[in-house]
A and B are shown apart, each in its own frame.
Chain A
Amino acid sequence: MAQLKMVQAINQALAYEMERDDRVVLLGEDVGRDGGVFRVTEGLLERFGSERVLDTPLCESGIMGAAIGMAAYGLCPVPEIQFMGFTYSAFEQLFAHAARIRSRSRGRFTCPLVVRTPYGGGIKAPELHEESTEALFCQVPGLKVVVPSGPYMAKGLLLSALRDPDPVLFLEPTRLYRLIREEVPEGEYVVELGKARVARAGGAVTVVAWGSMLERVLKAVDGYDAEVLDLLTLSPFDIGAVLASVRKTGRLVIVHEAAKSCGFGAEIAATVAEEAILHLRGPILRVTAPDVPVPLAKLIDHYLPGPKQIRAALDQVLQY
């Protein structure tokens, strides 16, 4: 089995599905000739032609809106928004249309598209290139939000997302594109959306993470009896898996790289408080970025949660 980086695994998933299903078309800025700014779509223009890999003008709202029209017409478009910070220009299309077309038209029109966008910090990029505002999108009913944590998961989740009948926002942790290599089967396999994964079993504390934080959490918990849950899908998130683990360990730490206030960690904490508060032996702790805009390179290491903060939270909650 080939050892692939995440960027290659995603490329393989796109190529596999384009081969299998002629409704799948890619569109976005620089996705064609250039192969995408991270080279995720490299080689696909040559292989599938310019009718299926569309280099568009620079217009995020137009790209997203066009993808919605394509999806309503019966295609499975995969719009790429070059960086998560650029999805804000396409916000209205995602919120007001992609997530609502099925319900507004009572199923007459649907929106099976997969928005791919690199997300997250740690790559020394300019402003708006390292955002992780996933919680904004989780607030929207009708939109699924998926975040792979490595190459294997990325391919399996993307194949599921491409076959999902509803719009999916597929957030690709930029820092992980080339950081980890994993064995990735060449052919078909899918990872079900909406299911978390136990990335490491343990008994004393549950740590929930996703995306690029998972890699840091796994390093940080070395030496602790911690169970690490890789959430993988944020909307809808696997409530059952979180509750089962918390009921077992009695302690919960949530780690995300987005700002703390109203981050997705708040949703998890509130759900656990509603459903399993009597199983808790200590407070639910969140390890997050501070409530400030994502900084440029000089300060990014002070912004992103690191092993030190994660271990401090573990130490604190384990005192109870």
Chain B
Amino acid sequence: MPLESIGKFETKRLGVLNERGEADPDLMPQLSEEEIRRMYEFMLLARVFDERAVALQREGRIGTYPPILGQEAAQVGSAFALSPGDWVFPSFREMGAHLTLGFPIAQLLQYWGGDERAQKAPDGLNIFPFCVAVASQIPHAVGAALAVRYRRDPAVVVTYFGDGATSKGDFHEGMNMAGVFNLPMVFICQNNQWAISVPLRTQTATTSLAQKAVAYGFEGVQVDGNDVFAVYRATREAVEKARGGGGPTFIECLTYRMADHTTADDAGRYRPPEEVALWRERDPITRLERFLEARGAWTPQRRVEATEKAARIIDDAIREMENVLSPAPAELFDGVLAALTPRQAEQKKGL
């Protein structure tokens, strides 16, 4: 028996907008001026939301919060490519995606303020509650995609997770099932390169996370996660492929967590400042501004105006969040089961 090669694989990396803000005309997705403007505004909104959320935590007005600083392009670009009927199974660091999809901002803050009622997505928005147990939301997306298939619905199911999630069993079980059943799914990994204090090289021995898709029989692509056009393009293509019966795609958005893991963490303990400084220069918002500036569509004044607009929106949301009455103790029992058990009824009376 000769020693044969039974497979050759390559993993592609997609970038559209370089660090100088120059877009590759062949790869630039079809987006109107208005759409690009909205993307920019969503990214700024996510930035301002994040700054204010961290400040609110420092002031004791909300609880522990996981910052999204630096990941705005990965979140806004991917969410921008979805349609209203699609289903989203997030982890806990995609508030930029939530904002882009229209999740009420006050409710996002209310959740991080410790109010579980805020996890109830508004009707018509198929976005699952935040998932704190890493990677455990991935099989849920698989199940929803099986149900989409069974119901012959046109929806696509998207799940978000981080680089740490790719080490967990549920990631592999979910990826495998998605491949086996050729499901209408998009796996969006925000590879922000740090799972609390563990860097990517200690998380995996592979050169990319995208190549993991090869093992499950479908396409994986690495995307410049600080390039909103590349993220949008890759997600859009993956969503269209899924909707057309072409099966799942794994998208690795290579980005960087510029802030701490959460407000309870101090990344300075484990992360070299030079690395953070390097990534600060790759700020996804600055990159988009350079692109817009070259087209005569951006000035520093425009950023000031857009930031002020975002700040007004967030201020209103904070006010709204702080006007929500705290849940009553009896609400502890809400939704544990469709009907209270006799013992729960007894306990509720005793509160």
Residues of A at the B interface (CB closer than 8 Å) are: 25, 27, 51-52, 54, 56-57, 59, 61-75, 77, 89, 92-93, 96-97, 101-110, 141-142, 144, 164-166, 194, 236, 239-240
- Which residues on B sit within 8 Å (CB–CB) of A110? 338
Query: A236 contacts B343, CB within 8 Å?
Result: yes
Partner of B143, one of A77, A105, A240: A77
- Which residues on A sit within 8 Å (CB–CB) of B145? 69
Query: B338 contacts A109, CB within 8 Å?
Result: no
Partner of B146, one of A54, A107, A144: A54
Is B173 interfacial (CB 8 A cutoff)?
Answer: yes
List 6 A-B pairs, minimum CB-CB distance, nearest first. Answer: A65-B139, A69-B143, A62-B173, A73-B147, A66-B143, A236-B341
Given A59-B177, A66-B177, A73-B144: A102 and B338 interface contact (C-beta under 8 Å): yes
Q: Which residue of chain A lies nearest to B140 when distances are taken between CB atoms in the complex?
A: A69
Partner of A66, one of B119, B146, B343: B146
Q: Smallest distance from the beta carbon of A135 to chain B beta carbons, Å?
A: 16
A240–B336 Cα distance when bound, in Å, is 22
A101–B148 Cα distance when bound, in Å, is 19
Query: A65 contacts B150, CB within 8 Å?
Result: no
- Which residues on B sit within 8 Å (CB–CB) of A194? 341-342
Residue of B87, B117, B343 with highest tally of chain A CB at under 10 A: B343
Q: Smallest distance from the beta carbon of B118 to chain A beta carbons, Å?
A: 9
Query: A105 contacts B119, CB within 8 Å?
Result: yes
Query: B338 contacts A70, CB within 8 Å?
Result: no
Q: How large is the interface on B (under 10, 10 to 19, 20 to 34, 35 or more residues)?
A: 35 or more
Q: Smallest distance from the beta carbon of A24 to chain B beta carbons, Å?
A: 11
Query: B338 contacts A57, CB within 8 Å?
Result: no
A146–B47 Cα distance when bound, in Å, is 49
Query: A108 contacts B144, CB within 8 Å?
Result: no
A75–B146 Cα distance when bound, in Å, is 10
A106–B327 Cα distance when bound, in Å, is 12
Q: Which residue of chain B lies nearest to A62 when distances are taken between CB atoms in the complex?
A: B173
A64–B136 Cα distance when bound, in Å, is 10
Is B154 interfacial (CB 8 A cutoff)?
Answer: no
Is B92 interfacial (CB 8 A cutoff)?
Answer: no
Partner of A239, one of B119, B149, B343: B343
Is B142 interfacial (CB 8 A cutoff)?
Answer: yes
A257–B32 Cα distance when bound, in Å, is 68
- Given contact pairs A92-B136, A142-B336, enumerate 7 new A-B contacts (beta carbons under 8 Å): A57-B177, A62-B173, A62-B174, A70-B146, A75-B150, A144-B337, A194-B341
Query: A65 contacts B336, CB within 8 Å?
Result: no
Query: B177 contacts A61, CB within 8 Å?
Result: no
Q: Which residue of chain A lies nearest to B159 when distances are taken between CB atoms in the complex?
A: A69
Q: Which residue of chain B lies nearest to A108 when distances are taken between CB atoms in the complex?
A: B120
Q: Could you list 29 A-B pairs, sorted by A, with CB under 8 Å?
A: A57-B173, A59-B173, A62-B170, A62-B173, A65-B142, A65-B170, A66-B177, A69-B89, A69-B140, A69-B145, A69-B147, A70-B147, A72-B128, A73-B144, A73-B147, A73-B148, A77-B143, A92-B170, A93-B170, A96-B133, A97-B140, A104-B119, A106-B119, A106-B335, A107-B335, A141-B337, A165-B338, A236-B342, A236-B343
